[in-house]
Structure 1
């Protein structure tokens, strides 16, 4: 009995003695931040002392274990950068990669310069047991070296090629092309060729340009005495990716890659009274139109906006349009605009027939969870690929902004709204996504505490991380085999030539003697 009491006491003490956790989630996009917010909220509720750098603080006074440093000024940087205009589908992928890393580099530098961030970094009394970073850029991983603790990376979607490299995860350019490439299913020869080229080019650009450049930033803003950023990056303990086997291709993962999925999906909340009444009255059906947080409807070209508006005006349904300005010029009578809608709760209303979306992963998950089919209008990033996936799954139709007409938009929306096969299929996909042994949040919290308990996860480290590229790709073995074959052929050639010369010599000598 005494032993049991001691064990119970230890358990109770362990459950309330929280770790010190630092999180850096740098991308100024609410669609990214909503994936991470449940993690730092839950960790704080479990008694951990959590400090977070984020453009979207929760500002919840009830979370007494949570300290948030507001980096909301980064939204101005990304707006000035005009991501929406610079990353269009017709822009070469190399140019988009250049632009994104330059833009992210500017954001990271500005966030590191922030007085509160600098005060945190320079405080010699500060200690942390774990660093979590949004792993779309390597720079903040250096905080783990500054505070001499393990770090984990988290993405709001899949990981880019360097993310997989850092943890030793296999990246086959044909089976698993990079998430920025709009490829899915069986690739044609040209696509396979381009994917191979891109995987080589991207790595060259990242390891010989991005990393050296950001290492200078690390030395300036985090610490002169830190190891090289490329070496810090390879000390990652775990990589959390917000993917699932239904919406994403099946791929082999090392044990340190943890798939989450549906991180931000929450129980339904009541709608605002006026919105509830509008939806209840719309017995003809409702179309919800939103291009997410990174594509602003108000920033669309006038020509495209007029086409969309005309197509929506001819629908036999009420339309709710997330419009970021105070007024929509020439607003159709069947359209209601707002700068913000409670998207998850709105989609759950029974009168919503279709969600017209840019194809962001979080929007897809919300629509599937609500059982609402979709119409995709992709612009950049992973959106074209996501829209292809939705169409292949049978839960959506997609339209191209380059060939869009009011008639095409109207016809596509009506097809998805009235054909029951789309709603039936989206409910089947919802059931598949929901049938899991643990939620994404539960997995994330358990594995984060696992790393804290064991001060890292070096025992799960893939040996591929430490292999030189020539060994990983068997170039030395292939080279030896080719050299052996070439040597054997050369020897055979010499023997054959010698034998031929001897025969010719004997033949000539014989007839000369006669």
Structure 2
């Protein structure tokens, strides 16, 4: 009771001095691995006295957070198209199919949420005032930017993984197709000529697809809910005050960023908790070592093809280790005796057990950070999104091995697990990577909140804005200047040519007259 009174006094003083703000946050995409990045931010903002209203499919439901209002949109997890994507493990879509499916999924989720009663009530209320709007800025989620227009408030975008090219264009950040290839390509490190050509052409193709197809369609859909008075969606995107990007120096290539792109990491890392009794006994009873196997929150092991599952279970059975496998069903056909299956597992706490030798993962960014923090080498089986490029980085850093699921065999998986578990170089390399990752002046969540409060304090961050954000591509790439210079060179060359021809003709005439 005494602590509660002290907290209320502190919050009252905080708000009295003008530091208490109203924040509207919308994190739309139904993905646990995305939402765990955002949750610490909205929790910390509410603890600092800000009145936070957040739209999320993963509400915290923490009654002690009295400044927090959560609008639950978890129904989006049950959308048929979302379920279909998660059940399509083992398919290899083309790049065009990937981009179109990501866009369509985003639009589906957006429209489903906008039609919900809770969101409709927010849109229809005319007197609501907010000082800041936080937006999920992964993929094509900038369709939520009209909320910033509705509330006449500065917007801050937050990405739980890398961002597509258009997000960097929105904020005027320079992009180099080879130095900083888009993560969807799955290309990194020393590139061949073909890979560099692919990166260059992708930069042109993606921008054409986005600016002439995705953006107009998104704008048309947004107008259905926010009205035709809304400025063009592309113009709203240019008013983004800040972009917080989940990135770390182990996985991501160093990139020249403008001042209002802020890199954050380790937001979801938690203090270790005691393991459930059965898991503790299982791991304690594995003196020879244990392997942790999980394909994350989006991928589901239960949806693996029967052929792939058979190769995996056979490989696990022949390992000299026990295995804990996140398996989303009560039964696993031909389950090996050394394998323990669970529908849900406390991943960070398991990785912290000293008997864990390796982590078989899909290669998601959050899982990789957890493995590095706990010094557990990786065996990656990437499927989509940033997973392939993440695992290429893991191999380059020497802290794990990658296996293409399309060519996975019992021998490949068994060999990779034994190698990363028994070869000391992987453990040594991951210790080195951990020392780099954790060596930062402040926690990721504190850094994110500091910058959000910075935008609140200055009512935007226009002074950090790069001039490139307001330039057209012709201006930014100086195509008009280059065209002008080329034209001058052509005119001068033509004039010089005509002069030479005139002189030559005059000399010929003079020669004829002399003859």
- With the length of structure 1 as denominator, give the TM-score of the two structures: 0.94
2 CA distance for matches of 1:236 and 1:406? 49
Are 1:376 and 2:380 counterparts? yes
For 2:3, the equivalent position in structure 1 comes to none
> 1:136-147 residue pairs with structure 2 within 5 A?
136=138, 137-147=141-151
For 1:123, the equivalent position in structure 2 comes to 125
Structure 1 residue 229, shift from structure 2 partner: 1.3
For 1:179, the equivalent position in structure 2 comes to 183
| 2:90–2:406 contact (8 Å) kept in structure 1 | no
1 CA distance for matches of 2:322 and 2:80? 33
- When structure 1 is superposed on structure 2, of 500-509 and 97-106 the one drifting more is 500-509
Q: What is the SS of the residue equivalent to 2:240?
A: coil
> 1:181-196 residue pairs with structure 2 within 5 A?
181-196=185-200
- When structure 1 is superposed on structure 2, of 237-246 and 481-490 the one drifting more is 481-490
Structure 1 residue 307, shift from structure 2 partner: 0.8
**Residue-by-residue CA offset, 1:190-226 (whole Å, 9 max, x unaligned):** 2222212211221122122222222222222233422
Classify 1:498/1:267 alpha carbon distance in 2 versus 1 (closer, same or farther; 3 Å): same
Q: Match for 1:199 among 195, 200, 203?
A: 203
> 1:190-339 residue pairs with structure 2 within 5 A?
190-339=194-343
Q: What is the SS of the residue equivalent to 1:402?
A: helix
For 1:430, the equivalent position in structure 2 comes to 434
Q: What is the SS of the residue equivalent to 1:355?
A: strand
Classify 1:370/1:14 alpha carbon distance in 2 versus 1 (closer, same or farther; 3 Å): farther
Aligned length, in residue pairs: 504
2 CA distance for matches of 1:14 and 1:303? 64
Q: What is the SS of the residue equivalent to 1:293?
A: coil
For 1:365, the equivalent position in structure 2 comes to 369
Gaps of 5+ in 1: 1-7
Q: What is the SS of the residue equivalent to 1:413?
A: helix
2 CA distance for matches of 1:323 and 1:172? 41
Structure 1 residue 78, shift from structure 2 partner: 6.4
Q: What is the SS of the residue equivalent to 2:401?
A: strand
1 CA distance for matches of 2:318 and 2:284? 21
Q: What is the SS of the residue equivalent to 2:49?
A: coil
Q: Match for 2:43 among 35, 41, 44?
A: 41
Are 1:28 and 2:30 counterparts? yes
1 CA distance for matches of 2:85 and 2:292? 24
1 CA distance for matches of 2:398 and 2:238? 40
Q: What is the SS of the residue equivalent to 1:57?
A: coil
For 1:490, the equivalent position in structure 2 comes to 494
Gaps of 5+ in 2: 1-9
For 1:3, the equivalent position in structure 2 comes to none
2 CA distance for matches of 1:56 and 1:112? 17
For 2:7, the equivalent position in structure 1 comes to none
Q: Match for 1:399 among 374, 397, 403?
A: 403
Structure 1 residue 86, shift from structure 2 partner: 6.1
For 1:66, the equivalent position in structure 2 comes to 68
For 1:52, the equivalent position in structure 2 comes to 54
2 CA distance for matches of 1:381 and 1:47? 36
Classify 1:437/1:89 alpha carbon distance in 2 versus 1 (closer, same or farther; 3 Å): farther
For 2:106, the equivalent position in structure 1 comes to 104
1 CA distance for matches of 2:110 and 2:27? 10
2 CA distance for matches of 1:412 and 1:379? 17
| 1:87–1:381 contact (8 Å) kept in structure 2 | no
For 2:393, the equivalent position in structure 1 comes to 389
Structure 1 residue 123, shift from structure 2 partner: 1.6
Q: What is the SS of the residue equivalent to 1:180?
A: helix
1 CA distance for matches of 2:512 and 2:223? 80
Q: Match for 1:499 among 473, 490, 503?
A: 503
| 1:16–1:46 contact (8 Å) kept in structure 2 | no
Classify 1:309/1:72 alpha carbon distance in 2 versus 1 (closer, same or farther; 3 Å): same
2 CA distance for matches of 1:197 and 1:495? 42
- When structure 1 is superposed on structure 2, of 34-43 and 209-218 the one drifting more is 209-218
Are 1:76 and 2:61 counterparts? no
**Residue-by-residue CA offset, 1:313-352 (whole Å, 9 max, x unaligned):** 1101001111111211111111111111100000000000
For 1:465, the equivalent position in structure 2 comes to 469
| 2:358–2:378 contact (8 Å) kept in structure 1 | yes
**Residue-by-residue CA offset, 1:444-479 (whole Å, 9 max, x unaligned):** 111111111111111111111111211100111111
Are 1:442 and 2:441 counterparts? no
**Residue-by-residue CA offset, 1:169-189 (whole Å, 9 max, x unaligned):** 111111111121111123322
Q: What is the SS of the residue equivalent to 1:69?
A: strand
Structure 1 residue 284, shift from structure 2 partner: 1.2
Structure 1 residue 81, shift from structure 2 partner: 5.3
